[in-house]
C-alpha cells in the first residue's frame, strides 16, 4: 500500500508539473543513419538520386532557384511544376543504424521537460519512427513526433513557445535543447529564436536556446558522429 501511494503521488506530481524545457530532436542523421534515398525526375526528363541530406538540400535549393521558388521547403511547389519527387523510402525507417551519442541523451528524461522528434519527413513516417524508438530502448510513450509538413523548424518552435503563455504574457518555456544535423535548419532556428524581435516579448527571463549540431564523418559501416554545441 505504501509503494502504491508513493507511485500515485509521483504520477500526480508529474501530471501537473509545468513543462519548462523542450528537448527537440531531428530524426535522420541525428537519431539514426538510414539508407533512404530520394529519386527525382525533373520536367525536362533529367533524373537524380539523392543519397543524403546534403545532396537533397543542394538539389532542392538549385531547383527552387531555377524555378523562382522562395519557400523554405520547396518540395510541394516543385511537384506542382511537374517535378516527380519520390520520397517513398522515407515512409519507413530503412536499414537504420542508431546514433548512440544522441539516443543516450534522448533516453534520459529530465523533470519538467517534454521530448519531441521534429522531422521534415511526411506524416506517414511517424508510426515507423515510433516503432524504431521502441526497438532501441527509447520510451516512445514519452516522445511526441511532429512532421513539419513544409513549415520551417524555427516557425514550429515559435508556435510551441506561444502555446505555453502564462498570465504575465511570457512563455512557460525557458529552455529549448535542439539536436540537428542540418545547418540549414540550425540557421533557421537560430534566426527565428535568437534574433527575432517579434518573440522577445514572450521570452521569459533567463531563456536559453541550446543548439547541438550532430556531425557525421566517415563512410559505412564505420561512420561515426560527434556533437558540436552552437551558441546564439
pLDDT at 5: 38
pLDDT at 189: 97
pLDDT at 4: 37
Same domain, 51 and 126: no
Same domain, 53 and 147: no
Provide the pLDDT confidence category of residue 159 given band limits of 50, 70 and 90. very high
Provide the pLDDT confidence category of residue 53 given band limits of 50, 70 and 90. confident
pLDDT at 17: 54
Same domain, 107 and 138: yes
Q: Is residue 2 part of a domain?
A: no
Same domain, 118 and 46: no
Same domain, 117 and 170: yes
- Residue 221, domain extent: 14-33+95-230
Prediction pTM value: 0.87
Q: Is residue 110 part of a domain?
A: yes
C-alpha closest to that of 115 among 135, 129, 128, 125: 129
Average of per-residue pLDDT across 139-164: 93
Q: Is residue 1 part of a domain?
A: no
What is the distance of C-alpha 113 from the center of its chain? 16
pLDDT tens string 174-196: 999 999 999 999 999 999 999 88
Same domain, 198 and 101: yes
Average of per-residue pLDDT across 136-148: 95
pLDDT at 39: 97
Domain count, the chain: 2
Q: Is residue 85 part of a domain?
A: yes
Q: Is residue 186 part of a domain?
A: yes
Same domain, 197 and 108: yes
Provide the pLDDT confidence category of residue 150 given band limits of 50, 70 and 90. confident
pLDDT at 210: 97
pLDDT at 16: 44
Question: What does the alpha-carbon distance between residue 98 and residue 104 come to, in Å, rounded to a whole number?
Answer: 10
Residue with cell 518552435: 157
Same domain, 71 and 183: no
Q: Is residue 60 part of a domain?
A: yes
CATH number of the domain bearing residue 152: 3.40.50
Provide the pLDDT confidence category of residue 13 given band limits of 50, 70 and 90. very low
Same domain, 27 and 112: yes
Amino acid at each position: 500500500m505504501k509503494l502504491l501511494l508513493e507511485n500515485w503521488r509521483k504520477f500526480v506530481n508529474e501530471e501537473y508539473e509545468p513543462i519548462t524545457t523542450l528537448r527537440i530532436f531531428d530524426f535522420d542523421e541525428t537519431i539514426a543513419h538510414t539508407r533512404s534515398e530520394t529519386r527525382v525526375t525533373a520536367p525536362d526528363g533529367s533524373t537524380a538520386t539523392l543519397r543524403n541530406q546534403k545532396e537533397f538540400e543542394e538539389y532542392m535549393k538549385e531547383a527552387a532557384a531555377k524555378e523562382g521558388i522562395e519557400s523554405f521547403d520547396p518540395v510541394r511547389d516543385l511537384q506542382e511544376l511537374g517535378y516527380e519527387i519520390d520520397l517513398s523510402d522515407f515512409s519507413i525507417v530503412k536499414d537504420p543504424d542508431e546514433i548512440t551519442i544522441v539516443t543516450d541523451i534522448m533516453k534520459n528524461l529530465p523533470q519538467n521537460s517534454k521530448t519531441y522528434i521534429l522531422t521534415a519527413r511526411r506524416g506517414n513516417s511517424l508510426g515507423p519512427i515510433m516503432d524504431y524508438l521502441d526497438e532501441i530502448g527509447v520510451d516512445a510513450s514519452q516522445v511526441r513526433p511532429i512532421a513539419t509538413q513544409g513549415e520551417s523548424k524555427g516557425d514550429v518552435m515559435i508556435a510551441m513557445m506561444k502555446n505555453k503563455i502564462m498570465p504575465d504574457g511570457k512563455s512557460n518555456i525557458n529552455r529549448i535543447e535542439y539536436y540537428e544535423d542540418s545547418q540549414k535548419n540550425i540557421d533557421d532556428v537560430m534566426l527565428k529564436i535568437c534574433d527575432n524581435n517579434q518573440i522577445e516579448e514572450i521570452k521569459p527571463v533567463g531563456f536559453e536556446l541550446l543548439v547541438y549540431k550532430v556531425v557525421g564523418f566517415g563512410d559505412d559501416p564505420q561512420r561515426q558522429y560527434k556533437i558540436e554545441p552552437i551558441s546564439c
